[in-house]
Chains A and B, each alone.
Chain A
């Protein structure tokens, strides 16, 4: 059995699920202080004064930090915009933003003291939704002085992204459908909470953070603290789930200042409630006008989307620019106009989240397709097949063309769900498609250390947050070098040990870091060929290496390790190989470069709606992913199943509820509902399409986000078939479905 293409067991999987893995919160630093944040019970408030005297009286307190303890002007940081203050200064911008922080010998003391910090504040009107944010009379979330030379500085809009092709105003259509769809505020709910620690000594600053992109954190910390990058070491233990929520700096700069002031390491483990206030997905309103010809072919899309980013940009401007560029989906769209706004509000900052803005658009787009099918009398499957771009056809002019046989995926999903077969009483089927742009640029470096005994260290900057990157990279190295997987050790999560990786995002790691490691293996084999040539007196290109076997011109075969050992001689040593995979940015491209591949998914469901209660029971859920090549089919299935269930969360139950003060009301694991094991579909099937047409190793594309993109639209489509109800707001709670059913049959809330 080869390693690549086999469902190898998860590297580190057992430790991860048995609790043996050392998560960030398990890492105890000697002499570390425990930090607790001090927040106000409202979103926006003017800070009149902070009285720390009572907090200081708690035994064990070593620091009570307020804005006054930080440099003036307040240092601000962020990935693209330096907009986030280390502590709130003058005014809080969202509920959960710290105005002070306590460091103490024990967590108990820190908590006690934090509760004793007296903040004199005056609550101010807050901007909590799109409508209010766009009102010209609304308070400004961001001080215009912090946005010099920005024409939008006197609005709550941070950026507007516009993409147009064709001539949408004069495109003729037989049917025009116009609707507004909303996508709720949801949060990532990684099981591991966010946790951080910082220590400062003469070697520089060491930051521990369960972060997806350690090199971005390194860069941001160096910039905030005015240090060379080499004096910032980021140690990033494998996160316990991230889903985009652990991408960018949060409280690491605050801890650095506290560590410098106290001379002791400082650590902060957020509670689940604090994590809710730290990260979420952009909620959105999508207004969409779609024109169709009578035969169902798309004529134009006119899309206007408002994304509520929250108090700080984090990565949201990128989420919105990138997803809106592909808002017209995987179809041939002759004419399109897209406008997407990135809007500030007094709510927790949004960040990247699995799907990266695409689920919001897909929810709207795919329901438009359904409505057109209903009104034109065309089958919902047929209207999609009619419009899907064929391989090589452009979806956005000038951009990466369709890179897979998408029709094949859709047909597989339709067959698996039994599309067109008679439906049991009370049931409905639905089907939807989605595509997401992958990485547009990036750089992944890897170092392979081939040790004297034939085992291999692989040093990479990718994070394994449960998606299985360690396993994939191990399989590639084991396959290429013919070494057992057990002797491959993938070292991650230390910027002082592993070379640069752009990020662990956009489902890129198999393609980029996998490609980098593949190139590293090629470099290593070149070195072995040169050693072999020296030993045998032949030319390197006369030597073939396949799966660890070195074949010399005379036909003699030896293992790589024998050749390396003889070459290195009795003194020993090791071979060091380097892999590099880069995708350069294209500044002329609207989103900075063409996506390397698309993640295409088709999801189909069959479900039953309880007509008395609106409860949904999903009998079967099929998710089809075009992955190019499944390096590990089990992991592909696991990722797709996980994405499908996560998608069912925002589809059926998840949404953050804010009160009029901007506080999250349903704060915590019970009141914010995510699917439980008993909410998963009775049958969940993951189908993999492999045509070897991706840019990654062995023709692989990325995987892991696709399964979530169109779940909501597929479920809504099936609910509609079962009941006639149309719902354009998520989540599809029993109550919403029940109310929508009543609109269809007003007297028949419980027809029999």
Chain B
């Protein structure tokens, strides 16, 4: 293992970068990675959350997911990001995994991680899920690989129009980090020597609100069947003036849904019918696989749900639900 002490050394080092290691170590155990490891954890300045002079917030790439979820700067101004971070994986993973690692993690497709299979992502040629079990697969069939991108935080960052800083390459938008989903081999567009340094969140709009929700087949240690994030700003007549909607679990990349955003602008925050109509546009262009057709109406319903929640100022947190007497996934908050 290479342990660079500076960013410059890290950029020069060749191997797979290790931050929290939660995914990398699992892949090494499965035999998916046996090359050199470049440990980023000894480089100072890569973790931490701070407000910039321009009002933006910088989150160091090695900031723990649990810290992202609980930091007052994030929870106050970027609640959908905080909720997303607080919902994923398990408390143990959130305590060790980092925001950078979450964005750059490899795909969760069981075929990719299965010792008996080979696929585009494991260096082979083909997608066994396409003709096999793809019940967790995409409905936006953008590339040769049918497994959805695993980064929930990626979807949340899309709604905040966040950027990332990559050593040697400067700023990229989060959308550019993931590409267009046509590359079946890679989960992001960083190459050797590209070290993700930080995430930048633009200053929040006046009075903006947001919501996040995921549908899962179990409550913990799970990637979502479908997830949706919504961020809104309302005008003085309570109409939606700015809308940002991104979804996960349905495409090879975290996917922003501009069709929904456009349809939401000008809609009254209390007009449920108009919101539902706009939400149905979330599946425009969807091309579901035989086993994922249920995700189409599920995504529409979920997008409507997060838009309504955001419009109502309901961040859809588990704690928020419990406070209002709504059922939660855990009775032991």
Seen from chain A, the residues whose Cβ lies within 8 Å of a Cβ on chain B are 41, 95, 273, 608, 612-613, 615, 617, 619, 652-653, 657, 659-660, 663, 665-668, 670-671, 673, 675-679, 682-683, 733-735, 738-739, 749-750
Could you say which residues of chain A place their CB within 8 Å of the CB of B329?
617, 678-679
For this complex, 26 residue pairs linking A to B, each with C-beta atoms less than 8 Å apart, are A41-B116, A95-B116, A608-B327, A612-B301, A613-B301, A613-B302, A619-B327, A653-B217, A659-B132, A660-B132, A663-B116, A665-B114, A665-B132, A666-B133, A671-B110, A671-B113, A676-B220, A678-B220, A679-B218, A679-B219, A682-B331, A733-B217, A734-B215, A734-B225, A735-B135, A750-B301
B167 interface hit (Cβ, 8 Å): no
B125 interface hit (Cβ, 8 Å): no
Could you say which residues of chain B place their CB within 8 Å of the CB of A653?
217-218
**Do A613 and B215 touch (CB < 8 A)?**
yes
Could you say which residues of chain B place their CB within 8 Å of the CB of A617?
327, 329
Q: With A668-B113, A671-B110, A749-B301 known to touch, is A676 a contact of B327 (CB < 8 Å)?
A: no
Closest to A608 in B: B327
B297 interface hit (Cβ, 8 Å): yes
Seen from chain B, the residues whose Cβ lies within 8 Å of a Cβ on chain A are 90, 108, 110-111, 113-117, 128, 132-133, 135, 215-222, 225, 294, 297-298, 301-302, 305, 327, 329-331
CB of B179 to closest CB in A, whole Å: 25
**Do A612 and B302 touch (CB < 8 A)?**
yes
Could you say which residues of chain A place their CB within 8 Å of the CB of B225?
734-735
Could you say which residues of chain B place their CB within 8 Å of the CB of A678?
218-220, 329-330
Distance A682 CA – B90 CA, assembled complex (angstroms) = 19
Excluding A660-B132, A676-B90, 4 further A-B contacts by CB distance (< 8 Å) are: A613-B301, A678-B329, A733-B217, A750-B297
Distance A678 CA – B222 CA, assembled complex (angstroms) = 11
Number of A-B contacts (CB under 8 A): 82
Distance A671 CA – B107 CA, assembled complex (angstroms) = 13
Distance A615 CA – B225 CA, assembled complex (angstroms) = 11
Distance A694 CA – B108 CA, assembled complex (angstroms) = 50
CB of A148 to closest CB in B, whole Å: 35
CB of B110 to closest CB in A, whole Å: 4
Distance A440 CA – B330 CA, assembled complex (angstroms) = 42
Distance A734 CA – B331 CA, assembled complex (angstroms) = 20
**Do A738 and B110 touch (CB < 8 A)?**
no
**Do A677 and B220 touch (CB < 8 A)?**
yes
Could you say which residues of chain A place their CB within 8 Å of the CB of B113?
668, 671
Closest to B305 in A: A612
Closest to A735 in B: B294
**Do B110 and A666 touch (CB < 8 A)?**
yes
**Do A738 and B219 touch (CB < 8 A)?**
no
Closest to B298 in A: A613
**Do B220 and A679 touch (CB < 8 A)?**
yes
CB of B250 to closest CB in A, whole Å: 14
Could you say which residues of chain A place their CB within 8 Å of the CB of B221?
670, 676
CB of A307 to closest CB in B, whole Å: 23
**Do B297 and A665 touch (CB < 8 A)?**
no
Distance A379 CA – B260 CA, assembled complex (angstroms) = 47
Closest to A649 in B: B218
**Do B108 and A670 touch (CB < 8 A)?**
yes
Contact of A734 among B108, B110, B133, B217 (CB under 8 A): B217
Contact of A676 among B114, B215, B218, B331 (CB under 8 A): B218
Distance A660 CA – B219 CA, assembled complex (angstroms) = 30
CB of B272 to closest CB in A, whole Å: 8
Contact of A673 among B128, B217, B298, B302 (CB under 8 A): B217
**Do A673 and B222 touch (CB < 8 A)?**
yes
Could you say which residues of chain B place their CB within 8 Å of the CB of A613?
215, 298, 301-302
CB of A517 to closest CB in B, whole Å: 39
CB of B196 to closest CB in A, whole Å: 24
Distance A393 CA – B246 CA, assembled complex (angstroms) = 62
CB of A103 to closest CB in B, whole Å: 20
Distance A41 CA – B117 CA, assembled complex (angstroms) = 8
Closest 3 CB pairs of A and B: A682-B331, A678-B219, A676-B220
Distance A668 CA – B110 CA, assembled complex (angstroms) = 9
Closest to B115 in A: A273
Could you say which residues of chain A place their CB within 8 Å of the CB of B330?
678, 682
Closest to A683 in B: B331
CB of A271 to closest CB in B, whole Å: 9
**Do A738 and B218 touch (CB < 8 A)?**
no
Contact of B114 among A619, A667, A677 (CB under 8 A): A667
Closest to A660 in B: B132
Closest to A111 in B: B31
Distance A667 CA – B112 CA, assembled complex (angstroms) = 11
Could you say which residues of chain A place their CB within 8 Å of the CB of B218?
652-653, 673, 675-676, 678-679
Could you say which residues of chain A place their CB within 8 Å of the CB of B216?
615
Distance A299 CA – B141 CA, assembled complex (angstroms) = 53
Closest to A666 in B: B110
Distance A678 CA – B110 CA, assembled complex (angstroms) = 23
Distance A668 CA – B219 CA, assembled complex (angstroms) = 18
CB of B249 to closest CB in A, whole Å: 12
Distance A287 CA – B61 CA, assembled complex (angstroms) = 56
Closest to A738 in B: B294
CB of B311 to closest CB in A, whole Å: 16
**Do B110 and A667 touch (CB < 8 A)?**
yes
Could you say which residues of chain B place their CB within 8 Å of the CB of A660?
132
Could you say which residues of chain B place their CB within 8 Å of the CB of A675?
218
Closest to B118 in A: A41
Closest to A658 in B: B133
Could you say which residues of chain B place their CB within 8 Å of the CB of A608?
327
Distance A653 CA – B216 CA, assembled complex (angstroms) = 10
Could you say which residues of chain A place their CB within 8 Å of the CB of B116?
41, 95, 663
Distance A663 CA – B132 CA, assembled complex (angstroms) = 11
Distance A668 CA – B117 CA, assembled complex (angstroms) = 14
CB of B229 to closest CB in A, whole Å: 16
**Do B111 and A665 touch (CB < 8 A)?**
yes
CB of A644 to closest CB in B, whole Å: 15
Could you say which residues of chain B place their CB within 8 Å of the CB of A612?
298, 301-302, 305
Distance A273 CA – B329 CA, assembled complex (angstroms) = 29
CB of B195 to closest CB in A, whole Å: 27
Could you say which residues of chain B place their CB within 8 Å of the CB of A273?
115
Closest to B116 in A: A41
Could you say which residues of chain A place their CB within 8 Å of the CB of B220?
676-679
Q: Which of A653, A670, A683 has the most CB of B within 10 A?
A: A670
Could you say which residues of chain A place their CB within 8 Å of the CB of B133?
657, 659, 665-666
Q: Which of B90, B114, B301 has the most CB of A within 10 A?
A: B114
Could you say which residues of chain B place their CB within 8 Å of the CB of A735?
135, 225, 294
Closest to A427 in B: B327
Distance A665 CA – B135 CA, assembled complex (angstroms) = 12
Could you say which residues of chain B place their CB within 8 Å of the CB of A749?
297, 301
Closest to A613 in B: B215
Distance A616 CA – B57 CA, assembled complex (angstroms) = 38
Q: Which of B128, B225, B297, B327 has the most CB of A within 10 A?
A: B327
Could you say which residues of chain A place their CB within 8 Å of the CB of B128?
659
Distance A95 CA – B220 CA, assembled complex (angstroms) = 29
Could you say which residues of chain A place their CB within 8 Å of the CB of B132?
659-660, 665
Closest to A739 in B: B294
Closest to A617 in B: B327
Closest to A648 in B: B218
Could you say which residues of chain A place their CB within 8 Å of the CB of B110?
665-668, 671
Closest to A752 in B: B272
Distance A666 CA – B221 CA, assembled complex (angstroms) = 15
CB of A433 to closest CB in B, whole Å: 26
Distance A734 CA – B249 CA, assembled complex (angstroms) = 15
Could you say which residues of chain B place their CB within 8 Å of the CB of A739?
294
Q: Which of B132, B218, B331 has the most CB of A within 10 A?
A: B218
CB of B117 to closest CB in A, whole Å: 8
CB of B155 to closest CB in A, whole Å: 17
CB of B81 to closest CB in A, whole Å: 21
Could you say which residues of chain B place their CB within 8 Å of the CB of A668?
110, 113
**Do B108 and A676 touch (CB < 8 A)?**
no
